[in-house]
Amino acid sequence: MRKKSLITKKAAAETWITGATLMTQDSARRALRANVRIVDGRIAAITTRNPKKSGSVKVIDASGLTLLPGFVQAHVHLCQTLFRNQADDLELLDWLSKRIWVMEAAHTPKTLYASALLGIHELLSSGTTCILDMGTVRHTDSIFEAVRKTGIRASVGKCLMDNPSTTPPTLRDSTDDAMKEARELYARWHGRENGRIRVSYAPRFVISCTERLLKEVAEIANTQKALVHTHASENQKEIELVRELVNRENVEYLDHLGLTSPRLVLAHCIWLNDREKQILQRTGTHVVHCPSSNMKLASGFAPIPELRAKGINVALGADGAPCNNNLDMFGEMRLAALIHKPGAGPKTLRAQEVLDMATLGGASALNWSDEIGSIEIGKKADLIALDLNKPSNTVPAGEEMLPESIASSIVYSSKSADVSFTMVDGKIVCRDGKVSAISREALMAEVRKAQLTIRKSLDK
């Protein structure tokens, strides 16, 4: 007679979301009326059948709501959220040197943690479930701790700045120290929380980095198959300085160093020549469109319709709170859909295309498209539920199941207040604007304290 095992297998966590309209973002861009079964954080079934009643099964009634994959923001700076409304009406290089770099250098582990929590609160409450974040030069563990605590999915990179002739001494590492810490962060954090946390490499931009550092980033990223996240061709003065420093254009230089690839994510890419566009196309390098930041800093208009026409993947990002001044994907989607139409025609960047950039495009840029970006069996249950039955954003009667009409309601009419709940890994992390892991009152008290700490440091 076989003895019974003394080890009791833990039952799989099972959740059902019922009654919703699904904006799947699958290859056919289908809209479905179906229920979603989630087992251990992954989508196990998309079905019209109802869940069996059981005490171990959690059922979320989403009747009247629209379920879609969570937004993926491919360029944010959580370290800067604390500086919101403190660096306005400046162009990029002045904005950096006179305000942002000064304040980033004043960060302590506690103030950086508060800044990251503040940003994540806004992101989760407005439907963003995954980010690519560029930290500051120091205390990067504080950002990872905030990501771990709150449940957001994230790839985070320590900001790399080592060029002694172009960066302030208060916000600079030696090349050896910068790369040593970046490698240690990768070893410590990459793959944590069941793969929800990843580590990327984040040289700030060509101006702030030595050629040695950029070559070392290219080498280690290639070895580890890791993501590289940087800025490129955001501002005309920036590219003029790049030409003076390296006698090449931004993207041409990155390509020369072996950085361009499907694992390179470039924020902005406003001022590109034809050769650089061809490089992006040939190498599969990703571009992140940051329309609010580009307009606020008067940087220019990125050639997004042209890049997409070449087959270059384009994602969306809010950038940092001091140059936006919010982290709301709804604002980025609406602006991205509107600003290119006067020059290229009303059919340019239709709502569905912009929604693709906010979900599938971001997932692809982060090399996470096998896990997130659409509602499909086997993918992670990173989902958001929207109320599209409000007077301000309602889907027209008789068109409730038309993907084009749903996309229009989301991109042109909806706001963060329309997010009913946000789910990551099958767990609700935010409901009705309240983030589960963060007390809003305690957060704001810590934010005020952190801002005063930084102000006191700057006043010395």
Residue 453: pLDDT band by 50, 70, 90 thresholds? very high
- Tally Cβ neighbours within 10 Å of residue 409: 25
In angstroms, the CA 359 to CA 233 distance is: 24
Contact 390/432 with Cβ under 8 angstroms?
Answer: no
Residue 458 predicted with pLDDT over 90: no
C-alpha distances out from residue 415 to 145, 390, 440, Å: 29, 11, 20
Q: Is the pLDDT of residue 55 over 80?
A: no
Q: What pLDDT, on the 0 to 100 scale, is given for residue 93?
A: 85
**Quick one: pLDDT band at residue 85, thresholds 50, 70, 90?**
confident
420-452 burial, b for 16+ CB within 10 Å, e for fewer?
Answer: bbbbbbbebbbbebebebbeeeebeebbeebbe
Given a cut of 70, is residue 8 above it in pLDDT?
no
Query: Whole-number mean pLDDT of the chain?
Result: 95
Residues 55 and 99: beta-carbon distance below 8 Å: no
Nearest to 308 by CA among 357, 374, 235: 357
Q: Residue 63's CB: how many other CB atoms inside 10 A?
A: 8
In whole angstroms, give the CA distance from residue 376 to residue 192.
Answer: 24
- Give pLDDT tens digits for 149-175: 999 999 999 999 999 999 999 999 999
pTM over 0.85: yes
Q: What percent of the chain has pLDDT over 70?
A: 97
The predicted pLDDT at position 255 comes to 98
Q: Is the pLDDT of residue 5 over 70?
A: no
Residue 274 has pLDDT above 90, yes or no: yes
Is-contact 444 117, C-beta < 8 A?
Answer: no
Q: Calculate mean pLDDT across residues 377-385.
A: 98
Closest CA to 141 of 82, 107, 185: 185
pLDDT for 6? 44
More confident residue, 15 or 13: 15
Domains for the chain: give ranges and CATH numbers: 14-69+374-434 (2.30.40.10), 89-365 (3.20.20.140)
Task: Grade residue 10 by pLDDT with cuts at 50, 70 and 90.
Answer: low
Check whether 268 has a pLDDT greater than 50.
yes
**What pLDDT, on a 0 to 100 scale, did the predictor assign at position 9?**
52
Distance CA 28, CA 18 (A): 22
- pLDDT of 2 over the 70 cut: no
Position 7 confidence tier, pLDDT thresholds 50, 70, 90: very low
Strands (E), 173-332: 197-199, 202-203, 228-232, 264-268, 286-289, 314-316
Note the pLDDT of residue 4.
Answer: 43
Please tell me the predicted confidence (pLDDT) of residue 1: 37
pLDDT digits (tens, 9 = 90+) for 173-199: 999 999 999 999 999 999 999 999 999
- CA quadruple 118, 121, 122, 128: dihedral positive or negative? positive
